[in-house]
Structure 1
Amino acid sequence: MPASHRSRVGAILGLAGACALGAVQSAHAQSSVTLYGIVDGSLLYTSKSLNPATGQSAGHQYSFTDSGLSGSRFGMRGAEDLGGSMRAIFELESGISIANGSFGNSNGNEFGRQAWVGVDSRYGTVKAGLQFSPFFLAVYDFDPREMSYFGSGLITYLNNVYVTGLFNPNGISYTSPEIAGLQASAMMALGGTAGNFQAGRQYSASLRYHLGTLTVDAALYSGNAGGSAASIAIPSVVAFDGRAIGASYIFNSLTVKASYVQYKVAGSFNDRVYSGGASYRITPALNVDAGVWVTRDGNHSSNNSILASTGLEYSLSKATVVYGQAGFVTNHGAMHTGLSVNNALNEATGTTAGVNVGMRHLF
């Protein structure tokens, strides 16, 4: 073979090899960033409203309400392939109010819902930063109405501990892969106060078992007052111990859920919340659900409430849903369980009825 020809062949092979190597390196370095969000607005009517000074009704209300079904938000999540089935991941999520354009449905900061970075691999997922606790995620998963902002377990959660456990600053968490149907998750949130490790310290854990369409989950939470989170716009340092156990089962188009959650708040309620309900997909575009939440104070049996609600959702497209919701709550003693996270989180003594209609768009 002539020398010049061998030279050309060598150059071509060298270029091909370089391209192949570059392709492999590019595959290992692939990264993506996804922008996403929810815009949700509705009209709300309640037959009563709470007068905080007296605990009695201040009269009925009509209002425009941000987030009747899901909390309005904007966020971005990203991932980079590090090779060896390992990825660097992050998420930044800001809660917003479409009623006035301000921060909402969060701890009041710019990215007050989630702000964390982590690593995901076949050995599990590690996250560091502001994040949801395993306790809250377990309570969320077994709520029969998927934590709707009207008439759901999210109201009983916020009534007891507000945003503690939802938005955990300074958190470090680990979630294992699922092995033989079992998956564990644990989180420690550091208080950030020099010389006082216990101030604002929060920890949480959960253990889930999954078999076919049956899922069972148990979770706990322990949080202290104080720490750096006490200075956040909406503090998330209510001192409480939480315990939860729940189960769900899917029968074709029917999903049934039930749970027990305890919120033992320092110097206040020792509430036990029993809930159950179901959702049924009538058609691919039409879904109906209903649930009941019974709350009893273990310290004073005269403090109790019953919340019941139902909802109907119709999908106009994959991204847009119109919905209607109705419910009632009955409060006794010092209990003030509400009907809606926004505009009616607390309600007066006695029975209050309400309805909510709105639209939600995902992007």
Structure 2
Amino acid sequence: MPASHRNRVGAILGLVGACALGTAQSAHAQSSVTLYGIVDGSILYTSKTLNATTGQNAGHQYSFTDSGLSGSRFGLRGAEDLGGSMRAIFELESGISIANGAFSNSNGNAFGRQAWVGVDSRYGTVKAGLQFSPFFLAVYDFDPREMSYFGSGLITYLNNVYVTGLFNPNGISYTSPEIAGLQGSAMMALGGTAGNFQAGRQYSASLRYHLGTLTVDAALYSGNAGGSAASIAIPSVVEFDGRALGASYVFNNLTVKASYVQYKVAGSFNDRVYSGGASYRITPALNVDAGVWVTRDGNNSSNNSILASAGVDYSLSKATVVYGQAGFVTNHGAMHTGLSVNNALNEVTGTTAGVNIGMRHMF
């Protein structure tokens, strides 16, 4: 091939390559992927410890505890602009333990907290995959201590149904935009068992009303045992019906919250949890909060517990917080409400006190 012809061909191919590269860079500019996470570790003391074998008190404990305030995790979150106010979105989130590096604070799988893909637009958001249920999100929103891993409504949630409704495999959900202060959300999780649609089937819905600094939310959950979720490392197939009603109101730096949550487990208990509390931001860096959770079994009134706790956290920076928490729980009958998600999820009959201090870093 003559040199002049080769030069012309090379110029054309170079131009095509440049255009293709420019197009790829333009498309890439319309999408984003973010790596994020939380690393949280603390020291925990409890005056009593439940012996899981005997059910008796095994004595007090001092322990290093992963996730004293928030669950340690890392994840990837992404979005791509599809045009017309639509975005493709996804999230992959893994729970970890900084105590030993193992999977934790999840359903036991590599991305056992969230693993979903969806579309977001002005008409609402659709997600498909492992995700939180509207019921759990409503309970989370109205917890006075924001579901701390020590002394909060997360303890009573896990005590009742463990991770069912929290990590939902095979889920398909829709969340509407807010219209006149109202926003609805619904989720159906398919059981995945051929020939048996009801095995492992789970559904949940919530309706929220927002007016100024007042928010009111009602939610429900219904789940069946069995299905493919029964084979996950930490199964999420407790058969139960859940109902929740909560409200919050913000007065400048003070936020007040109250809620009622029912966990009706098939063939077992029918727990009603009444909670209330508040948080107050003293300075931009310093925050205090406190809450009380009263649990009563509707099937047997002798089964009841009272959990009370308070916490203070101080921001060393936008990403790093040091914190201290203290609380007690009193159990009667067959109730075994604990103080901490990790290392003290269940406690003995009688009163147990505990203290938790630690540090959390977010990235």
TM range (shorter): over 0.9
Does the aligned pair in 2 maintain the 1:333–1:349 contact within 8 Å?
A: yes
Deviation of 1:20 (Å): 15
After superposition, give the CA deviation of every residue in 1:60-118 in whole Å (9 maximum; x if it has no partner). 00000000000000000000000000000000000000000000000000000000000
Deviation of 1:310 (Å): 0.1
Does the aligned pair in 2 maintain the 1:142–1:246 contact within 8 Å?
A: yes
Does the aligned pair in 2 maintain the 1:28–1:83 contact within 8 Å?
A: no
Report the TM-score, using the length of structure 2 for normalisation.
0.93
After superposition, give the CA deviation of every residue in 1:7-35 in whole Å (9 maximum; x if it has no partner). 99999999999999988993797000000
Which residue does 1:350 correspond to in 2? Answer: 350
Whole-Å separation in 2 of the counterparts to 1:2 and 1:354: 85
Deviation of 1:133 (Å): 0.1
After superposition, give the CA deviation of every residue in 1:181-206 in whole Å (9 maximum; x if it has no partner). 00000000000000000000000000
Whole-Å separation in 1 of the counterparts to 2:105 and 2:28: 37
Whole-Å separation in 2 of the counterparts to 1:305 and 1:21: 64
Change (3 A) 1:193 1:8: closer
Change (3 A) 1:21 1:92: closer
Whole-Å separation in 1 of the counterparts to 2:71 and 2:324: 16
Q: Identity of paired residues, percent? A: 93
Matches within 5 A, 1:126-275: 126-275=126-275
Change (3 A) 1:83 1:357: same
Whole-Å separation in 2 of the counterparts to 1:76 and 1:262: 33
After superposition, give the CA deviation of every residue in 1:238-297 in whole Å (9 maximum; x if it has no partner). 000000000000000000000000000011110000000000000000000000000000
Whole-Å separation in 2 of the counterparts to 1:323 and 1:17: 55
Does the aligned pair in 2 maintain the 1:28–1:82 contact within 8 Å?
A: no
Deviation of 1:161 (Å): 0.2
Gapped regions of structure 1 (runs ≥ 5): none
Deviation of 1:53 (Å): 3.1
After superposition, give the CA deviation of every residue in 1:293-345 in whole Å (9 maximum; x if it has no partner). 00000000000000000000000000000000000000000000000000000
Whole-Å separation in 2 of the counterparts to 1:227 and 1:244: 25
Which residue does 1:57 correspond to in 2? Answer: 57
Whole-Å separation in 2 of the counterparts to 1:9 and 1:346: 74
Deviation of 1:349 (Å): 0.2
Secondary structure of the corresponding residue to residue 283 of structure 1: coil
Matches within 5 A, 1:38-49: 38-49=38-49
Secondary structure of the corresponding residue to residue 137 of structure 1: helix
Matches within 5 A, 1:14-29: 26=26
Change (3 A) 1:342 1:9: closer
Does the aligned pair in 2 maintain the 1:155–1:337 contact within 8 Å?
A: yes
Which shows bigger deviation, 264-273 or 47-56? 47-56
Which shows bigger deviation, 293-302 or 14-23? 14-23
Which residue does 2:303 correspond to in 1? Answer: 303
Does the aligned pair in 2 maintain the 1:152–1:309 contact within 8 Å?
A: yes
Deviation of 1:54 (Å): 3.2
Deviation of 1:51 (Å): 1.6
Change (3 A) 1:6 1:99: closer
Whole-Å separation in 1 of the counterparts to 2:13 and 2:55: 83
Secondary structure of the corresponding residue to residue 139 of structure 1: helix
Deviation of 1:356 (Å): 0.1
Report the TM-score, using the length of structure 1 for normalisation.
0.93
Does the aligned pair in 2 maintain the 1:64–1:99 contact within 8 Å?
A: yes
Deviation of 1:222 (Å): 0.1
After superposition, give the CA deviation of every residue in 1:157-202 in whole Å (9 maximum; x if it has no partner). 0000000001000000000000000000000000000000000000
Does the aligned pair in 2 maintain the 1:29–1:82 contact within 8 Å?
A: no
Whole-Å separation in 1 of the counterparts to 2:280 and 2:336: 30
Gapped regions of structure 2 (runs ≥ 5): none
Change (3 A) 1:19 1:279: same
Change (3 A) 1:327 1:9: same
